[in-house]
Structure 1
Amino acid sequence: MATEQNTEKAPASRLVLLVALLLLVVDASAAFGRVFQGFRPQLRLAMAAGIAVVLASALERRHVLLALLVSAVGLAMAIGLLIFPSTLKYGLPLAATARAAARAWSMIGDTARTEVAPARPLAPLFLAGLTAVWAASFSAHALAARARSPFLALLPLAALVGFPSILLKGGARPLYVVGFLLGALALLFGDSLRRVGQWGPVTMWQGKGRFSLGTAATTRGARRIGLLCLGVAVLIPGALPGYGRAGLVDVHSNGQRLRVSIDPIVDIRPQLLRHDSISLFVVTSNEPTYWRFASLDIYNGRQWRSDNLEASGGLELEAGPIGSVPALDPNLPNTRVLNQHYQFQGLSGDWMPAAFDPVEIQGPGAKLRYDPRTSMLVDPEGIQPGLSYDVVSRVVVPPFDQLDAVRSLAGAETGQYVKLPPIPPEISALAHRIADPEPTPYRKILAIQDYLRRFTYKENVAPGHDVDHLVYFLTKLKAGYCEQFAGAMAVMLRTLGIPARVAVGFTTGQPGPAPHTYQVTTQNAHVWVEALFPKYGWLPFEPTPTRRNPAALGIDFPVALSPSGQNGGSASQQACSHPLPGGRIVGDPLSPTCTRGGRKGQRTQQVAHPNTGEGSKVDLPALHPGHQWSWRFLLFAGGALLVALILAAIPIGKAGRRRVALARAKAPRDRVLAAYEIMADHAAGLGFGRVAAETLWEFRIRLKDRVRDLDGDFDRLTGLTGRAAYSDRDIAREQADQALAISRRTVRVLRRAAPGGRRVLAWFWLERPGRRLG
């Protein structure tokens, strides 16, 4: 009996527990949000955690399965509002939200492998974080309020606080620790109040009309112990020897200089996202270009890869001439020679960068491997800081008319470079729609490249290279980073029968203090496309907006450009378009000069007619993104809609429950009891409810003392209720109808006696009615 009356005899203990849990989950969620960049993810996670606890508290006295179901619905709403607001329909997360969430969930692993903490709040990662915070908040409430295990309730929240410290190196965060400890003390205090309440009313609240934490005398000891524990926990660690210094065992770098190994398959974007860019190498070259170290020529529907990244079976040498396959005529005109010297700093791994196409190498004195098919240089011993070597490369830049004169790219070496797994028809249809109007393979390549360069370069998108993501990238998102642009272009070219592969390396880097030197860092990691022309070999093309290869501008952008400022960085590059033989104007479609001559929002481009060869102007509609709502507006609108739905559901649910109770009461005795319980439910919402262990007669006396307008009808209702609950005497149907009528009149009297604000609050009061009678 004492256990059943626990929360009734110490009613404020529930409030203390709720406030303590709110403080804990908000603090833990904000601390956990440090794994994301910016303050907004912390705010969103803290808000979601608070809502999760409020929902769990509102359903604390209901069955745990019902609470779990409602919490799952709340999580779905939070996912829709905070992560996928564009998928909501009428403000509700329906099938589109479920599909988006399922797709993001399947990409959590890949995204985690390609992000660096603090990570951007991409949908897959934020979905995982939001789910973890919501689950931890619900679990903490269940352990504290249902299982009555406050120490266990601290464990999931402590995990949220501690997790960022494993990933980040930002030092101590005392404010989060203080907030967590204050919440923990408040949680233990509230649980203690509830346990004391098992033995009777808590004196600090008995007879009080308002909530109070007690007098100085009653809580002096608790406050002193709490402050002492808090001070010890916060101050003592800082006074211990070695606090804030490096660990005795450095498990991260073993005391060595920080180095980076770039996996050409999956590890490009993490380097772009590093806040502290790492110097990889310095290259001295008579001309800036892309420094290539790998090529990926196999697409399996999930990612681009190579079957020989180790260059096994290739040529082994320390120095001397090398050559690629297919072999090119050494007397081919329109070639330039690049002499490069590499000095390594923070780059590790096996792959050695070199401008394409390397023809001679002077190695570091160790055996190297060279794969002629992929033109990859590999050091089996691994690259070490201070290693240096020299490479001579030949850059082939055929003029426009020679490339445009090539009518077919088929050859003995091209078959393996057009292979594709089953591809969604949307990709092939889009590629043909873009390229089919062009008469030559070269123009088709440029058309695909120009189309992609009208997209938006954006690193803050979900990673992905599988065929489904390609469809989404090409038809809806139209924004991404270099891996996605290059992978999409290579797939589209292969659907057209054009041999293509993906090249991995670095942009030119920043000019160094010495002439013709370039400092390459992790920010210069890059991916582009190479297409195979039988006579000229592999030629580079650049589909990524804001990126250009200075040494290949005559190929992918056949325009007259000044070499100044073309360092391959991420800054926007300006260019103008010039008419070329055949009547085509080729240039960077992002350049402002490429938008003249057309209607607003369109790009006018002169293309050659496939039959006549005559130039004609075609208006290409600009790719305007759909209307983007502000996240603040969406968050506010979603929150307002959620609050409105909850506010509307509470009175409707209460009215429906009362009607169901009356409908189920068939016998006169049951109707009397139902009428009284409905009246008592209304009285509780208006602030006149029964207290624990209070008899009907005691309730009648107390209520009549507070509400002077109650007359003898209420006495008759009380008598009929006592008779129905505790007497064997029969009750006539007329008496049951009379009890129902009196119950309704009593409710009206109580409403008139209650303050105006309380009358409004009564519609939304969730206090469960008193113990059932009979």
Structure 2
Amino acid sequence: MNQRKHLTLIAAGSAFLASLPLTNVFENYTWAIRSFLVVAVMCGVGLLVRSLRAPSWAPSAAMALSGLLALTWLYRSHEEYLGIVPSPGTIVHFGQLLRTASEEMSEYATPVGDREGFLFLATLGVAAVALLVDLFAVVVRRPALAGLPMLAIYSVPVTVDTDSTSWFPFVLGALGFLWLLVTDNVDRVRRFGRRFTGDGRDVDLWEPSPLAAAGQRLGALSVVAAVLLPLIPFAMPAGLLDSLGGGAGGGSGAGIGNGKNGKSVSMFALLSGQLNRNKSVEMVKVTDLDDTQPFYLRFNVLEDLSAKGFSARPISGGAPVGNGFGKPEWGPSVKSATHTARVEVTNELAINYLPIYTWPTKIDKVSNNWAFDPKTAVVYSNKETTAKKSYNVTYTRPEISPDDLRAAAPVDTSSPQLKDLATAPANPVVKSKVEELIKGKTTEYDKVKAIFDFFSPDNGFTYDTSTGADTSGTKIADFLNNKRGYCAQYAAAFGWLLREAKIPARVAFGFARGGSPAGTKAMMLTNFNLHAWTEVYFPGYGWLPFDATPSTAIGGSVQTSYMPAAETANGNDDPNRRGSQPLPSGSAAAGDPGLTGHENPGNTGGGDINTKLSLSQRVGNFAASAPGIALMAAVLLLLLLALPGFARARTRRRRLTFAAAGPGTPVGVPVGDGPQMTVLPEDDRSALVARDNAHRAWDELLDTMTDYRVTIDEAETPRATVDRLVRKERLRDKAESGARLLSTVEEHARYARSPLSARELRTALSSVESAFAANATRKVRLIARFLPPSVLRRWRTNAGIRSSALTLSIGRGWDSLMRTLSVRRMVARRSGR
């Protein structure tokens, strides 16, 4: 393997190693499999083109084209030509994937799942880095510049994730860059000739010199120092080590990361990602709870509503928790009870909002870095996260009846505090549905109940966590029509419809009730207990929770005294979420009771949905899976390997389809004692055909010699070539007669006034090829059949000719342009006027 081929492999491997830190960004390894396939295809094409001795720019162009084809195959729009050649629809599809990834960047927390937009962006980025690394390292021969694109993708994880990340992929990426530098420098040193040590001792070609060995040791020490230096307390600012150990990534990597005031990560996307995980992760433990019917543990609320859905407002103001919490809005006539609970947050929940029961009256064992905002009833901090926090909460819970809410005063939508919370963006689907539902309803409570009852499974609504995190106007309209979604869609749609009805509403986030480990009174809350619901404002009672999600789909669902949870009339709604069954105290599995271990938290509906898929859908699903992609990659590789053999068979078939030398039997006399040949008249038109047949047969013989590695001497005459074949290749009997026939016909076609016409050219060629095959090894026979050197040589020659012609034409055009724009010529013209 020559130097450039060797560097091509090293460049591809280094580029892929540099991308490995992306494992901290993605939850699964789908991105790595697809990126590896694209880089492998590009590397293989680069090696193939460089083996053809193509110009320096050709391998990069071929790699870029092969990368585009690989991306087209992996991310199909189903509008491609032949399933792999991109079409205008493919480019539009790529643009949509990039736009989707751009929109979701601000919504999804790391690690993210297999979102198609993110996967395409990662694969495209790795392919671009691989192309640039190959360009800098192999073409430009400046491997140090290859560190720039490698650094760009290398730094992505620490840019998008403020929590600690695994160090091991970063070490692999650094080693990949050192590997590239060392390989290039070793190749440069080898071209100097013999190497010597300082004392004059000769160093073998493959033995590292003392200088190279010292460089390798320095590189290894640099990597170790770069990894260990941040762990030294005095080397980094205070608090960094705390963030390394206290971030969401500090545990199993399945937790929720930081989000300042909810603006950096969409709560809907966060909720969707956690509910669709394959593993249950304990996030909160509630103990010493004296409330027999507690509502949900709440930590955040979204109040802004636009055409893109609900979003959080930056929380400001409020007072430290040590200063008290004020009084709730319900009056003294409302019955309420005071309860206490101890909350312990694990390292897997690292957010800036404290999970509490509302309305809190006291929170012990937290610092005054935490403040309480009475408008949203949220406890937040800009300096700390909830990771590993333990605290006691004292709260009051009111007892309110439906009649109390029916008698509540009308909402004053002109109030500055409620004005923005009772309006909704224009949406014809939402508007028509609200007008239909609240028709004839006079009180705010009756309107709320009418809209609430609409989301009952009796109306066809189904719980489904696979519908995604989008709650924009278009998606809400789809949800109202398709009636399939998870708690985020239920909460957002319910709140949107209420605001369309001029009723203040917002979306709250927290945990539904969880299960208890056997023999304990503790309540464990996992990522599968994360939940969203709607809060509605009633004058004199404040913000009250309403959960429109069907109770049978939510484990630990709570029915309030003023509104029962939405459920089916027959109680037979299929739960599509882990832990969806009610969780009695003392259940066997904390946070995940009643599970056999075979449930899929991302199930999209009924259990027999796979049996309803059509054959084309099954084929499409298999093609998009990792085994399907691997199978298609193997088939594509086999087709590429078989291409030279197909080209050789086509050329041979075209050559052996000899044209008839003339009508009827040729006129002439026998020549020699061998196979029957006839001399054609000089002026006969069939002479032209006979010459062409002779030349094609001789070309086929030369290609056959090339395929079986038989030496060709272009200075020899056909007769000398055949004599050498008979002597060195030991041609006997039919093979010898056939070879002499081919040489005689070719000689007459070249030198004689009248060519010969022979009917046995095909048989002669077959006899000679059989003799070559009998004398060759098995390896040579296989290569001659599947990777014939004659085809590769012809491709290489044609590529060189075409590239030279293209280079020459570009050079001529450039010279012509320079002459046209030459200042000297312009001055000469003006002076001559």
Shared fold per TM-score greater than 0.5: yes
Residues 1:393 and 2:401 aligned together: no
**What is the aligned partner in structure 2 of residue 263 from structure 1?**
261
Structure-1 separation of matches of 2:108 and 2:492: 19
1:639 paired residue among 629, 633, 644: 633
Kindly state the Cα deviation for residue 24 of structure 1 after the two structures are TM-superposed.
3.9
Aligned twin of 1:419 = 423
Give the Cα separation in 1 of the matches to 2:30 and 2:342. Answer: 42
Query: Which one has a bigger Cα radius of gyration?
Result: 2
Instruction: Give the aligned partner of residue 132 of structure 1.
Output: 125
| 1:527 Cα deviation after fit | 3.1
Q: What residue number does 2:337 align with?
A: 337
Deviation at 1:540, TM superposition (A): 1.9
Does residue 424 of structure 2 align to residue 455 of structure 1? no
Partner Cα distance (2:21, 2:226) in 1:
26
Counterpart of 2:239 (choices 250, 253, 257) is 253
Q: CA RMSD in A?
A: 6.6
- Which letter maps to 1:760? R
2:658 is aligned to none
Task: Report the Cα distance in structure 2 between the residues aligned to 1:20 and 1:32, rounded to whole angstroms.
Answer: 20
Any conservation in 2 of the 1:34–1:164 contact (CA below 8 Å)? yes
More off after superposition, 629-638 vs 512-521:
512-521
Q: CA deviation at 1:87?
A: 8.9
Tell me if the contact between 1:17 and 1:191 (Cα under 8 Å) persists in the aligned partners: no
| SS, match of residue 555 in structure 1 | coil
Aligned mates of 1:474, 1:653 — CA distance in 2: 58
Partner in structure 2 of residue 222 of structure 1 = 206
**Structure 2 CA distance for aligned equivalents of residues 742 and 18 of structure 1:** 45
Q: How does 1:634-713 map to 2 (within 5 A)?
A: 634-640=628-634, 642-643=636-637, 646=640, 682=703, 686=707, 688=709, 697=716, 704=725, 710-711=739-740, 713=742
1:445 to 433, 442, 452: 452
Deviation at 1:54, TM superposition (A): 1.0
Q: What's the CA shift for 1:130? A: 1.1
Matches within 5 A, 1:477-516: 483=488, 486-491=491-496, 500-507=505-512
Residues in 1 aligned to 2:635 and 2:46: alpha-carbon distance in whole angstroms: 20
Q: Find the partner of 2:533 among 514, 528, 533.
A: 528
**2:785 aligned residue:** 760
Give me the whole-angstrom Cα distance separating, in 2, the residues matched to 1:472 and 1:690. Answer: 72
Shift of 1:555: 3.0
Structure-1 residue corresponding to 2:554: 546
Retained in 2: the 8 A contact 1:675–1:743?
no
Give the gaps of 5 or more residues in structure 1: 1-10, 203-217, 561-568, 577-590, 593-600, 604-620, 662-667, 724-730
Report the AA paired with residue 487 of structure 1. A
| Distance of 1:148 and 1:718 partners within structure 2 | 50
| Partner Cα separation in structure 1 for residue 373 and residue 153 of structure 2 | 48
Offset, 1:270:
5.4
Distance change >3 Å, CA 368–CA 160, structure 1 → 2: closer
Equivalent residue in structure 2 for 1:123, among 116, 132, 143: 116
After superposition, give the CA deviation of every residue in 1:376-421 in whole Å (9 maximum; x if it has no partner): 567899899989786643445546x999x99999875787556333
Partner secondary structure for residue 261 of structure 2:
coil
Which one of the candidate residues 15, 34, 37 is aligned to 2:27? Answer: 37
Taking the TM superposition and a 5 Å limit, the aligned residue runs for 1:22-421 are 23-25=13-15, 27-28=17-18, 32-33=22-23, 35-39=25-29, 41-60=31-50, 71-72=63-64, 74-79=66-71, 82=74, 91-92=83-84, 101-109=94-102, 111-115=104-108, 118-150=111-143, 152-153=145-146, 156=149, 169-172=165-168, 220-225=204-209, 228=213, 232=217, 236=221, 243=228, 246-247=231-232, 248-251=234-237, 253-256=239-242, 258=246, 263-267=261-265, 268=267, 286-287=290-291, 288-306=294-312, 309-310=315-316, 318-319=323-324, 321-324=326-329, 330-331=332-333, 336-340=336-340, 354-356=356-358, 370-372=373-375, 374-376=376-378, 392-396=395-399, 398=401, 412=413, 416-417=420-421, 419-421=423-425
CA 1:317 to 1:192, structure 2 compared with 1: closer, same or farther past 3 Å?
closer
Inter-CA distance 163–502: structure 2 relative to 1 (3 Å threshold):
closer
Separation of aligned partners in 2, 1:407 and 1:552: 17
1:309 match: secondary structure:
coil
Secondary structure class of the residue paired with 2:205: helix
Deviations 1:166-196 (A, max 9, x none): 8664344677776776676556666778x68
Point out the more displaced range, 532-541 or 133-142. 532-541
Between Structure 1 and Structure 2, which shows a larger proportion of helix residues? 2
Equivalent residue number for residue 823 of structure 2: none
Provide Cα deviations, 1:570-625, integer angstroms capped at 9, x if missing partner. 6222499xxxxxxxxxxxxxx99xxxxxxxx999xxxxxxxxxxxxxxxxx99998
Task: Give me the whole-angstrom Cα distance separating, in 1, the residues matched to 2:74 and 2:438.
Answer: 39
Q: Answer yes or no: is the 8 Å Cα contact 2:81–2:87 preserved in 1.
A: yes
**More divergent stretch after superposition (751-760 vs 514-523):** 514-523
Residue 580 of structure 2 corresponds to which residue in structure 1?
A: 572
String of CA shifts for 1:512-544, please: whole Å, max 9, x gaps: 999987687988764322345678763321538
- Using the TM superposition, give the Cα deviation of residue 761 of structure 1 relative to its aligned residue in structure 2, in angstroms: 1.5
Q: Structure 1 residues 639 and 406, CA, compared in 2 at 3 Å: closer, same or farther?
A: farther
How far apart, in 1, do the equivalents of 2:477 and 2:72 lie? 23
**TM-score calculated relative to the size of structure 1:** 0.62
Note closer, same or farther for the CA distance 1:684–1:304 as it changes in structure 2 (3 Å cut): farther
The Cα of 1:53 is off from its aligned counterpart by 0.9
Residue 98 of structure 1 and its aligned partner are, at CA, apart by 5.1
Alignment partner of 1:120: what SS?
Answer: coil
Deviation at 1:52, TM superposition (A): 1.7
Equivalent residues, number? 665
The alpha carbon displacement at 1:134 in A equals: 1.3
Q: Distance in 2 between matches of 1:224 and 1:489?
A: 71
Which amino acid in 2 is paired with 1:337? Answer: A
Determine the C-alpha separation between the residues in 1 that align with 2:531 and 2:627.
Answer: 36
SS at structure 2 position matched to 1:124:
helix
| SS of match in other structure, 1:36 | coil
Deviations 1:671-715 (A, max 9, x none): 99x979986995697255999xx8655999599566956447569
Cα 1:241–1:488 change in 2 (3 A) is: closer
Q: TM-score, normalised by structure 2?
A: 0.58
- Partners of 1:297 and 1:502 within 8 A in 2: yes
Change (3 A) 1:338 1:53: farther
| Contact 1:27/1:179 (<8 A) preserved | yes
Q: Conserved in 2, the CA contact under 8 Å of 1:697 and 1:718?
A: no
Corresponding letter in the other structure for 1:123: E
Whole-angstrom CA distance in 2 between matches of 1:504 and 1:169: 27
- 1:557 corresponds in structure 2 to 565
1:428 shift after superposition: 7.3
Give the whole-Å Cα distance in 2 for the aligned partners of 1:487 and 1:223: 68
The 1:720/1:33 distance shift into structure 2, 3 A limit, reads farther
Matches within 5 A, 1:613-624: none
Which amino acid in the other structure matches residue 45 of structure 1?
S
C-alpha distance in structure 1 between counterparts of 2:137 and 2:300, whole Å: 55
SS of equivalent residue, structure 1 residue 289: coil
